[in-house]
Copies of this chain bind each other. A is one copy, B any other.
């Protein structure tokens, strides 16, 4: 261990290396999903569980803002909540996710009710919200930097889903399409902020740990899906059963 801070270039490379090593695009569930190998029920299980993550993102962003006493930083963060919630009913990322739910044959009201979320999904996502609520601002911001790696996975996902699944079209995939322009704006700000505020080696290490933690949060969600709906395919108590919540 050294106390000398890394150069900006080395520090940024360390952050990016976390994604290379363990962003959830490396998880077998993603390969299965993108290659058309998921059953309709496996796609539905992914949509239901990922919905929980979607809904907690603006809560996480509000938790961050609740700890910021600088109006300028709060202003820069605000659009993240707006992107997810929109400005009217039916707008925003969460509503777009419910369009995807509809597209895969689920009742959007069932999905929005948050019934059937795997407990392991809740635990992972709630750990993320708690992290942002209690950790210092630097790791809190750094934990959002998985957005660095998101546009690639979203492009890949749009292409893979369009190619392999009947439900996929511009409406059902509009969530991912919108994130292609939203995520780069967020991550440009977040990365700049982290680079500026991670002054010491300890700060840089904390930022790398925070981003690592966040990749673990994402990975755990796909492991939970795999365990419940792929192999062994043992749905735990509380988890969605494939005959529930279907569109009538």
Are A69 and B114 within 8 A (Cβ)? Answer: yes
Is A68 an interface position by the 8 A CB rule?
A: yes
Per-residue interface assignment for chain A, residues 61 to 98, with 1 indicating a CB less than 8 Å from any chain B CB and 0 otherwise: 01111111101101100100110111111001011000
A-B contact pairs, 16 of them (CB 8 A): A56-B69, A58-B74, A59-B66, A59-B68, A60-B66, A62-B64, A62-B65, A62-B68, A62-B74, A66-B66, A71-B84, A71-B86, A72-B89, A74-B81, A75-B88, A78-B78
User: Shortest beta-carbon distance, A80 to chain B, in Å?
Assistant: 12
Sample of 7 further A-B pairs with CB below 8 A, known A62-B65, A66-B129: A59-B65, A65-B81, A66-B66, A75-B85, A75-B86, A78-B82, A78-B85
Is A177 an interface position by the 8 A CB rule?
A: no
The residue in chain B whose Cβ has the minimal distance to the Cβ of A94 is: B71
Are B59 and A62 within 8 A (Cβ)? Answer: no
The residue in chain B whose Cβ has the minimal distance to the Cβ of A60 is: B66
Main secondary structure of the interface of A (DSSP, over half): helix
Is A214 an interface position by the 8 A CB rule?
A: no
Residue of B64, B71, B84, B87 touching A95 (CB-CB under 8 A): B71
Are B74 and A85 within 8 A (Cβ)? Answer: yes
Known: A78-B82, A81-B74, A85-B74. A59 touches B69 (CB 8 A): yes
Among A59, A64, A81, A95, chain B packs the most CB atoms within 10 A around the CB of A81
Are B133 and A66 within 8 A (Cβ)? Answer: yes
Is A55 an interface position by the 8 A CB rule?
A: yes
Across the interface, which residues of B come within 8 angstroms of A67, CB to CB?
59
User: Shortest beta-carbon distance, A189 to chain B, in Å?
Assistant: 15
Are A85 and B71 within 8 A (Cβ)? Answer: yes
Per-residue interface assignment for chain A, residues 127 to 154, with 1 indicating a CB less than 8 Å from any chain B CB and 0 otherwise: 0010001000000000000000000000
**CA–CA, A116 to B134, complex, Å?**
26
The residue in chain B whose Cβ has the minimal distance to the Cβ of A68 is: B59
Residues from 86 to 122 in A contacting B, C-beta threshold 8 Å: 86-89, 92, 94-95, 114
